Structure 1
Amino acid sequence: MSGPPRRTAAVNRLGPIRHVVAGELDVGYVELGPADGPPVVLLHGFPYDVHSYVEVAPRLAAEGFRTIVPYLRGHGPTRFRTPAGLRSGQQAALGADLHALLDALDLPPAVLAGYDWGARAACIVAAVWPERCAGLVSVNSYQILDIASAGRPLRPDLEAGFWYFFYFATERGRAGLARDARAVAEVIWRRNSPRWHFDAATLDRAAEAFGNPDYVDVVVHGYRHRLGLADGDPRYARLEARLATRPTIPVPAVTLDGTADGNFPATDGGASAAHFVGPRAHHQVPGAGHNLPQEAPDAFVAAVREVSTTLHRERRPHPA
């Protein structure tokens, strides 16, 4: 016998959802703020959705930014335009998706800001197409993966935190994700952000995005490719080869580490400094976990504001 239905409190939502054809996707996204404002694109991670920015996006819009928050491939209302083909989750696909979205929306150079999968996409565009990126906000610094080292063992403490990488490498893991993506997300959330006291309604809201028909395929392929257990999509071979060189990021950047991130210990930013060849500031955010924009929206808004101020300063004419 099942128990009583779970009560969920009302939660704020971003909306309405707009759609644009961008590359191989029909992208669902939210847009807030003035159409002529400086653009900022906010990118979520796995297993999360656009509501990681439920507080950040309206505040940036109120400050005059044209604020765009897309659902990544395999999430929410974003759909592939063709019914067949590999549902790749590899890093090159995420970067190509973001580049195509910037083109589809005909955006001038934009501030790209994200964490997890979203930070990876933002770092890729900032490195490979810097003319499209006015500035970067990246949680956990440089996020372009070294796929060539995928088979090397991690530290045991990191492997424990990344249990889902290895779970998704198995058919049992695929089946578990397909059966109850919400439950998988809850375990990951609690490990990623041990000091974030989210409620059932917050998790339910994000879990709606996991009902996308391609969610399981994209996620499973992404982690299998990351471990060297699945081939990439040939369409992204050239881009993936470029990423294997670990290209530097020349645009102004602000990088953030949460001091309570369950998988990525906070650093002083020095280990990744060689990957940033433009102006860069690095900050630790006390008490924040992996889903930093939702857990510490003040810090994330401040980072977007800071990189935008850097842009203004860089563009100011030098005195004669």
Structure 2
Amino acid sequence: MPLYMDFHKIDSDAITEEDMYRAHLRDVAVQNKHGLIYKRYYLNLHHKTAFCLMESPNKEACVESHKEAHGVGACNVIEVSHQNEFIPYMGEGSQNEQDLALTLSGEIDSGFRTIMLVDFLELMEIKALMATKISDSIKNYQGNVVKVPSERFMASFVDASDAVACSIEIAKYFETLKGKMIFSIALSTGKPVDEHSTDLFEETKTKVEVMSRLGFQLGISMDLDTKISAFRSKDISKIDTTGITVFDQSSYIEIEKLDKVLLKNLNNSAFNSDTLGSQLGLSKTQAYRKISSLFGMPPNKLLSELRLIHAVRALKKRDKTVSEVAYDSGFNSPTYFTRVFRNRFDVLPTLISKSKFN
């Protein structure tokens, strides 16, 4: 049968593990009637959340089962792929005799995970070596590699402090490489199922995508939930986190809005820093201050950097000319594009388009 996972927000302030076990027993008591099997449940008393994992013929059976057992359905229910989603993100944990989910270390599994997205641009043909190093670092810090395309790695960690330490190790490795190497590592911590999600860790994956796209000048960035979780789970004081940019919720909302505007206009050569400010609802001065405070660079520099990153990826596909890539990346002159590209990467764009990247 298909695999489903649901989300429950616990209203009571005095809920205990024993209370949740009794609630689980009510679910189990009616499971045969609805043709489903409750496998285990994940509990986070700090965040007052619970997530049930079950095999069911359909979503409707999950909803009706909970309604019969508790008088109300779950906040949300999603179908998950066992091999492509559940195992990569949630791992191979088990459960105790009460079906409460446990991590591999035997602790209660909250269901929350820290998702790390590593994005990089390498202008040298050493991708295979880099992939091995990144994968080894993730595994050494008890992370699960999630399959993603191209020059990116996504990983899931039970412990946020492991994710932070892993990101620092990978960043240090990138910094040892010779040549023009730029990277972005984003970390976000969240629930497997959200109120309105349709995919596992949908909200958390969206966050790392946004932070990663805009984070090439930051190196490592993470949301405030990851910082809080990392310091709560272990003594992280021995890890130097001074170079990591932390976005609180209000800052993330600002960069998410910026990301949407840039994705829509990046290839438009008429789009400039003045236009960017107006579409953000900010004056030129406000946009300058806001973007500089978030990314350490003015709007025009950020826009140029993102266009160059877009151009590098397009050139490596080798299906367009340098002139076509220049225009598609928002530059109104191939000559100007070539000059800016060479100043940034110390190599001509024609050499990138002719290289054999695997």
TM-score by length of 2: 0.26
Looking at both structures, which has the greater relative contact order when contacts are Cα pairs under 8 Å and sequence separation is at least 6? Answer: 1
TM-score by length of 1: 0.28
